[in-house]
Amino acid sequence: MKTQAILGTAVATLAIGIALLSACADTIIAGTDPPPAPAPSFAGPDAGPPPAPETMMCISYDCPEPYATCPGKKGLCNSNIDNDINNCGACGNKCNYGDAGAVNALLSCRAGQCSVQCESLFGDCNGVIEDGCEAHLGRDEANCGACGNACKPGEVCWRAVCGCPPGYTQCASPFGGDDVCVRLDNDARNCGACNLHCAEAADDAGPPAWPCGPGVTPDKWGPICEDSSCTFNCTEGFQNCNDDLCGDGCETDLENDPKNCGACGHQCLPEQGCIKGKCECGDPKLTFCNGKCTELQTDPANCGACGNFCPGYLDVSSSALGSPTCVLGRCGFACPPGRADCDHRIENGCEVDTRLDPLNCGGCGIECERDGGAEGAQPCAAGQCLTKPCPPPDAGGVF
């Protein structure tokens, strides 16, 4: 009985399954193709906006800051009023010293304000452009080493420092003017005391003991100061190295002789020179040329060999015009940022300002639009031909 019951249940289940399959088959045959998959949505969280149409650009005549169109120069937006010395802060505002003239200074325009650049050891301590950098920071007791740094009353400003260093004494200058710091043990003008001049002391004491006979004075021999006392010997920097005082005097220059540098018999190496009594150029990369140590691989005045001077524009008042270079011992020429040598003529240096020149805008030969319409050619500012989005046609724009 159980077997018959299970068999009956299985037959019934199979019949239901066949009926369902038949129904599905009828639906597929009687209907159309399956419905298409839904279209992708561009509004979902992972979808981006549709690409925008390309924006058309037109010539712009609006000068971006800090550029302005100043008279006396060609083109539009022709001056950077942040650094133009002839149009500083505004067109026509020229930086100058006035009628008095200025010393120890170069004028400049920075952030639209006229200012002065002082030479070394000078300062514009009164803030007046007309007299330039009037303070000598190396000897001005009121501005010693820096504007406003005042020395104590009676204290000398010597080499930009208040007071004399150890071993030196403050004395009045024998040439007049400000006091100086001297060493009393070896200064022939201040020997043992301020203003004790050895030459004058020798004259007062009568003729010296002549080493070569009365009235015979060897070359470079005379009154000197040794250990704070006046005596006679070779004058400072010279020495009798060949022991022939009466023949050629104190013939050796210990300051500059590489065979007797600082002392008789002290010989410098072949690659060294004698500078102020010291052998210099111990570094194998350096060579002694024309009285100084230099690197022949990088020195434009001695490029590859001593005395090989690289050609180039060397106007120190116009550094924007470039300068010669020496790279790996070969001469070249370099332009500062914003300048270029577009005509390849070294005699006029970097003649083009690529930040403003519409014929060389950002680089040589990069031309802005020459025919810009009624307002003229397309301006160049900051090395870019000026553009802006074109107005829509219904706003009267011309494409």
Going residue by residue through the chain (399 aa), what tens digit of pLDDT does each one get? 333 444 344 434 444 444 433 443 343 333 444 555 554 444 445 555 665 567 788 889 899 999 999 998 888 899 999 999 999 999 999 988 765 556 788 888 999 998 888 888 999 999 888 888 899 999 999 999 999 999 999 999 999 999 999 999 999 887 777 889 999 999 999 999 999 998 887 777 666 777 888 878 899 988 899 999 998 899 889 999 999 999 999 999 999 999 999 999 999 887 788 888 988 887 778 888 887 888 999 999 999 999 899 887 555 445 567 888 999 999 988 898 999 999 988 878 888 999 999 999 999 999 998 876 666 788 999 999 999 998 887 655 443
- 104-122 CB burial, b ≥16 within 10 A, e <16: bbbbebeebebbbebeebb
Q: Is residue 193 part of a domain?
A: no
Number of independent structural domains in the chain? 1
330, HSE (Cβ side, Cα atoms, 13 Å): 1
Q: Provide the phi-psi class of 338: left if phi over 0, else alpha when psi is between -120 and 50, else beta.
A: left
Q: Say what the pLDDT of residue 396 is.
A: 52
Q: Say what the pLDDT of residue 290 is.
A: 80
Q: Is residue 350 part of a domain?
A: no
Q: Is residue 90 part of a domain?
A: yes
Q: Is residue 321 part of a domain?
A: no
- Tell me the β-bridge partners of 79: 68
Token pair listed for 220: 């470079």
Q: Say what the pLDDT of residue 28 is.
A: 35
Token pair listed for 367: 């031309």
Token pair 């550094």 is found at: 319
397 three-state secondary structure: coil
Q: Say what the pLDDT of residue 249 is.
A: 93
Q: Provide the phi-psi class of 137: left if phi over 0, else alpha when psi is between -120 and 50, else beta.
A: alpha
Give the range of the structural domain holding residue 101, as residue numbers without chain letter. 79-160
- 122-123 and 135-136 strand pairing: antiparallel
Nearest CA to 193 among 225, 221, 234, 165? 225
* Helix (H) or strand (E) segment spanning residue 348: none
Q: Say what the pLDDT of residue 13 is.
A: 44
Q: Is residue 320 part of a domain?
A: no
Q: Is residue 207 part of a domain?
A: no
Rounded Cα–Cα distance for residues 259 and 273 (Å): 9
- Tell me the β-bridge partners of 288: 293
Q: Say what the pLDDT of residue 89 is.
A: 95
Rounded Cα–Cα distance for residues 12 and 10 (Å): 5
Q: Is residue 283 part of a domain?
A: no
Q: Is residue 128 part of a domain?
A: yes
Nearest CA to 219 among 249, 251, 252? 249
Q: How far apart are the first and last CA of the chain?
A: 97
Per the CB < 8 A criterion, the answer to whether 94 and 88 are in contact is: yes
